[in-house]
Chains A and B, each alone.
Chain A
Amino acid sequence: MSIKQKTLDLKKRMQGALLGGGVKAIEKQQSMGKMTARERIIALLDPNSFHEYDLFVEHAARDFDMDKKHLPGDGVITGTGTISGFPVCIYAQDFTVAGGSLGIMHARKIAKIMDHAMNLKIPIIGINDSGGARIQEGVNSLAGYGEIFYRNTLASGVIPQISVILGPCAGGAVYSPALTDFVFVVDKISKMFITGPEVIKSVLGEEISMEELGGARVHSEITGNAHFFAESEQECLQQIKKLVSYIPWNNTKKADPFPKKAPKIRQYKIDDIIPTDPREPYDVRDVIKSISDDSEFFEVQELFAANMVIGFGRINGDTVGFVANQPLVLAGVLDVDSSDKAARFIRFCDSFNVPLVTLVDLPGYLPGIDQEHAGVIRHGAKILYSYSEATVPKVTIILRKAYGGGYIAMCSRHLRADFVFAWPTAEIAVMGPEGAANIIFRNEIKNAENPEQVRQEKVEEYKKKFANPYVAAAHGYIDAVIEPGETRRFVVHALEVSSQKSELRPSKKHGIPPF
């Protein structure tokens, strides 16, 4: 055979493999409103940047007549490419090939591209669309999942790991996304659960639809398993591109800087956002936008535990992670979910050299038997742990209330914030004036002729004395009381002078955070 003929033969082989499960299966995938695995990769990556590997991998199943079947690429597409010039390793499960089911060769392809990502020190993106384990391959299929989970764990904190759920992701398969840093879901397309509706019905007699059990909305609002919710696959891919622009290639690098831009101060007037009454709500995201570059804020887990706001922005061109109590939702209290949400984000930022800017305005922890029994102690401790552990530059701004345990938890000086600033509206105290007056002056109030009047007087007295930033300032617990309009200037400077920060910690194998 001449080279020409051999090349022709290669082309023919490639054409077959590139068709995946064939024209019919592709039509079926598209009729469900879904892109094919290859279309997804090409839409996400820069034009012509995708390079595919292991196209000719054959499946290894020999039982149940599987040896007579041909599964192109064994149902998964792997390769490398770039997103806005940013290199990534990527894989996408191909639902048109045996339902994207995971056999040992399919798993080996994923493991191989993950190993590449680790060696090349670049992010890994996994697009999940699979019916689950390939039952015909038995324990080999389980071995495949295990190999992936192990790699996910080793890669954690070394390279950013992104999971995209664009179809079913059920049973053991859910644990790879769960181990990764960011999970993207799309309304009506993503489905994640351990046991599906049919098993639940047959075993427990309870009826529930796939969407209600593990749809995109459920994981974005209730379980917190997902970080980004999109209405369509196109929107989802745009979100991934945006996220990638905020994070570094690996844990030894910083995110690429962007051109510096001032906030849109006409739209976000920092002096007008906060009501002076500490019991009145406002949207803390407006404060974030009043200090971030171009008033941009890329929110993470927007729909989950909205009493805590987390996300990325830029200050003078460099990525920062914002963590803020949200007075608009549940008064910004800490609870089980909001603690988990913040703690995980803080650890991501610390692992990947993203400085933390914390905005504080909270009345404390959410009271309730359900919260206590759900382990608010154990969950709340995660925030203390992750802030204390973080050695990236940490800047804290106390906007209004900082009471009790909430004050300590929200990156206080005591957990080693590098800079703590407070607005003149800040109230830094062991608890709110109402509660404190009732305890301190209990006897005076009880024995008074007019208890309600005395109570009011005592609340006012306490407010005047303690509901301000100056008591904490007098102890040196905050570094400066600043005008709201000065916030950006102070944050910019604080991050500038912290750029070479290095903090030594006792050597250990690893800590034991209160999971």
Chain B
Amino acid sequence: MENDKNLMTESNDEKFITLVVNEAGYKTLSNKMNNNRKPYEPADPSKIKSFMPGNVPEIFVEEGDQVKEGDRLLILEAMKMKNILLAPLDGSVKSINVKLGEKVPKNFILIELE
């Protein structure tokens, strides 16, 4: 809370970044929010991810199975709810990356379709 500190000192020189806004680059310092920004990942419906951490008490398919849109793939148990994950598209099961009863973190790719 030192109010009189001067951030424009030379010791800051290496911390300056260039921020581009409307094609002009500005010399400036970053902040926590900016440091934590993650590049955007477009949604890929063929990758079935865990939408929250949980465990997998049941898997309905095997690798190589043909599935239709709406078929049951597996159960993700999270927040005391058994969530049935359905196939979002027609295709075949390319890989299953989770074992029965396994705990998975958030955004873990459970099943890949193709």
Chain A residues close to B by CB (< 8 Å): 203-206, 221-222, 228-231, 235, 239, 278-283, 286, 297-299, 302, 305-307, 327-333, 335, 337, 363-370, 373, 403-404, 431-435, 438
Is B30 interfacial (CB-CB < 8 Å)?
A: yes
Partner of B21, one of A205, A299, A363, A369: A363
Provide the main secondary structure of the chain B interface.
Answer: loop
Partner of B28, one of A204, A329, A369, A403: A329
Partner of A206, one of B23, B24, B53: B53
Docked pose: A335 CA to B16 CA in angstroms: 19
Residues of chain A within 8 A of B27, CB atoms compared: 279-281
User: Are B28 and A327 in touch, CB under 8 angstroms?
Assistant: yes
User: Are B22 and A364 in touch, CB under 8 angstroms?
Assistant: yes
User: Are B23 and A434 in touch, CB under 8 angstroms?
Assistant: yes
Within 58-106 of B, Cβ neighbours of A (below 8 Å) are at: 78-79, 103, 105-106
B83 CB to closest chain A CB (Å) equals 14
Q: Known: A206-B53, A328-B28. Is A434-B22 also a contact (CB below 8 A)?
A: yes
* Sample (23) of A-B pairs whose CB atoms are under 8 Å apart: A204-B53, A229-B1, A239-B1, A279-B25, A281-B16, A281-B26, A281-B27, A281-B28, A286-B6, A299-B3, A305-B33, A328-B29, A330-B19, A330-B29, A331-B19, A363-B22, A363-B24, A363-B26, A364-B22, A370-B38, A431-B22, A432-B23, A438-B23
Q: Which 10 pairs between the two chains have the least Cβ-Cβ distance?
A: A435-B22, A331-B26, A369-B40, A363-B21, A434-B23, A331-B28, A434-B24, A435-B23, A432-B24, A204-B53
Is B11 interfacial (CB-CB < 8 Å)?
A: no
User: Closest chain B residue to A229 by CB distance?
Assistant: B1
B11 CB to closest chain A CB (Å) equals 14
Chain B residues close to A by CB (< 8 Å): 1, 3, 6-8, 16, 19-34, 37-38, 40, 52-54, 78-79, 103, 105-106
Most buried by B among A221, A305, A369: A369
Give the total number of A-B pairs whose CB atoms are below 8 A apart: 104
B73 CB to closest chain A CB (Å) equals 21
A312 CB to closest chain B CB (Å) equals 12
Docked pose: A286 CA to B29 CA in angstroms: 16
Docked pose: A185 CA to B85 CA in angstroms: 43
Residues of chain B within 8 A of A279, CB atoms compared: 24-27
Docked pose: A280 CA to B19 CA in angstroms: 11
Residues of chain A within 8 A of B38, CB atoms compared: 370
Other contacts beyond A333-B19, A403-B22, A434-B23: 5, CB < 8 A = A281-B27, A281-B29, A283-B7, A329-B28, A432-B21
Residues of chain B within 8 A of A239, CB atoms compared: 1
User: Are B21 and A364 in touch, CB under 8 angstroms?
Assistant: yes
A361 CB to closest chain B CB (Å) equals 11
Q: Known: A239-B1, A307-B31. Is A205-B22 also a contact (CB below 8 A)?
A: no
Q: Known: A204-B53, A368-B37. Is A329-B31 also a contact (CB below 8 A)?
A: yes
Docked pose: A298 CA to B4 CA in angstroms: 11
User: Are B22 and A370 in touch, CB under 8 angstroms?
Assistant: no
Partner of B53, one of A205, A331, A337, A367: A205
Residues of chain A within 8 A of B6, CB atoms compared: 283, 286
User: Closest chain A residue to B8 by CB distance?
Assistant: A283
Q: Known: A306-B31, A329-B31. Is A235-B40 also a contact (CB below 8 A)?
A: no
Residues of chain B within 8 A of A330, CB atoms compared: 19, 28-31, 34
Residues of chain A within 8 A of B40, CB atoms compared: 369-370, 373
Residues of chain A within 8 A of B20, CB atoms compared: 367
Most buried by A among B16, B27, B33, B38: B33
User: Are A222 and B32 in touch, CB under 8 angstroms?
Assistant: yes
Partner of B1, one of A203, A222, A302, A329: A302
A349 CB to closest chain B CB (Å) equals 20
Docked pose: A431 CA to B22 CA in angstroms: 7
User: Closest chain A residue to B32 by CB distance?
Assistant: A221
